[in-house]
Amino acid sequence: MDTQQSNARKEDSKTKEEDAAVDAELAKAIMSRSFHPSILGPEPWEGYIFSDLEIRIKESTDLYGAVLWPSAMVLCHFLETNHDEHNMMDKNVIELGAGTGLVSIVSSLLGAKVTSTDLPDVLGNLQYNVMRNTKGRCKYIPLVTELFWGQEVEQRFPRATHCFDYILAADVVYSHPYLEELMDTFDYLCQENTQILWAMRFRLDKENRFVDRFRQRFNLEELYNLPSLSIKLYRAWRRDERATTS
Ligand SMILES: C[S@@+](CC[C@H](N)C(=O)[O-])C[C@H]1O[C@@H](n2cnc3c(N)ncnc32)[C@H](O)[C@@H]1O
């Protein structure tokens, strides 16, 4: 190996070490947002600190959407620490697959007009968490409503009356049978000036293929890469100049 190659290798391993240090520090900052209550009352909850406020999330273990996934914390951390560039104040925001609602809650606390969506089974707990944590604390009361990806999306959200500045999504791509419908839902809701902020947990090959197909329809920018959590955060926006009315 000549000196040039040896220097290139040293540079490469230095960059990898630096990347690993950034990942570790960011992941630690994100995960430190959560805490367990010191005294457990009759109703269990998990605590999170965002916007200098305590957020109490009730989980239940029987459904995917009833558990809070780390991707939601990654997205919330980004929203809170990047509000100069992505200011939520007065923005129209929709969250897909909101689950226990942390992302909807944090974006409401940051001033957005939020539509928080998920499957019917999840809505009771979602509504409870959203109301419990936003009542009297937010400029706009968030709306919690059903959205089954790919089903009646046009009827529920006609483009003539619904134009979103942001589509937020955390951990919505995994091994479920509605990936195509999810893609179509992103596609329908994302208009010319809409930005998608999407935190993606990588588990299987199928998920990488979803990202590749997503890239064919949208411009994609990687905002965070956190290998220690197997999570990436993306910003996406439309590739084409499709008309925004229908
Ligand atoms: C892994 S959970 C993530 C929940 C939340 N975003 C978080 O990060 O904590 C996936 C969410 O997608 C929702 N979901 C799954 N399939 C769906 C579908 N076909 N239409 C709408 N939502 C769906 C689930 O109910 C669940 O809330």
Q: Are residues 113 and 197 in the same domain?
A: yes
Sequence-distant (6+) residues with CB within 8 A of 52 are none
CA of 175 to the centre of ligand 1 (A): 11
Which residue has tokens 């499709």?
Answer: 242
Q: Report how many domains make up the chain.
A: 2
30: pLDDT strictly greater than 70: yes
Domain that holds residue 197: 63-238
What is the whole-number distance in angstroms between the Cα of residue 64 and the centre of ligand 1? 7
Please report the pLDDT score of residue 242 as a whole number: 57
Tell me which residues have their CB closer than 6 angstroms to ligand 1.
64-65, 68-69, 71-72, 97-100, 118-119, 122, 147-149, 170-172, 176, 178
Is 80 exceeded by the pLDDT of residue 245?
Answer: no
Q: Are residues 77 and 167 in the same domain?
A: yes
Compute the distance between CA of residue 20 and CA of residue 39 in angstroms, rounded to an integer. Answer: 36
pLDDT of residue 15: 83
Confidence (pLDDT) at 40: 72
Q: What was the pLDDT predicted at 65?
A: 61
Question: Across all residues in the chain, what is the average pLDDT?
Answer: 91
The answer to whether residues 161 and 214 belong to one domain is: yes
- pLDDT digit string, tens, across residues 59-69: 876 666 678 89
Atom 25 of ligand 1, nearest CA residue: 65
Residue 28 lies in a domain: yes
Please report whether residue 217 resides in a domain: yes
Query: Residue 20 Cα, ligand 1 centroid: separation in angstroms?
Result: 30
- Let me know whether 101 and 18 are in one domain: no
Same domain, 160 and 216: yes
User: 82 and 20 share a domain?
Assistant: no
User: What's the pLDDT score for residue 246?
Assistant: 41
Look up the CATH number of the domain holding residue 231.
3.40.50.150
Q: Residues of the chain with pLDDT > 90: what percent?
A: 75
What is the structure's pLDDT at 62? 61
In a domain, 46, yes or no: no
- Please check whether residue 41 lies inside any domain of the structure: no
Question: What's the number of CA atoms in the CB half-sphere (13 Å) around residue 22?
Answer: 10
Q: Does 13 fall in a domain?
A: yes
- For residue 172, give Cα distances in angstroms to 55, 97, 198: 22, 6, 9
Residue 39 has a pLDDT of 74
pLDDT at 128 over 70: yes
| AA letter at 192 | E
> Which residue's alpha carbon is nearest to atom 14 within ligand 1?
97
Helix (H, G, I), strand (E, B) or coil at 49: strand
Q: What is the CA radius of gyration of the chain?
A: 19
Query: To the nearest whole percent, how much of the chain has pLDDT over 70?
Result: 95
Residue to substitute in 50, 67, 119, 229 for testing ligand 1 pocket (most ligand atoms within 8 angstroms of CB): 119
pLDDT at residue 243 is higher than 80: no
Model confidence pLDDT, tens digit, residues 68-105: 899 999 999 999 999 999 999 999 999 999 999 999 99
Cα(169) to centroid of ligand 1, in Å? 9
Ligand 1 binding pocket mutation candidate from 59, 75, 172 (most atoms within 8 A of CB): 172
Are residues 21 and 101 part of one domain? no
* Nearest atom in ligand 1 to 121's CA: 25
8-12, 85-89, 162-166, 199-203: segment of lowest average pLDDT: 8-12
Pairing of strands 143-146, 166-170: unpaired
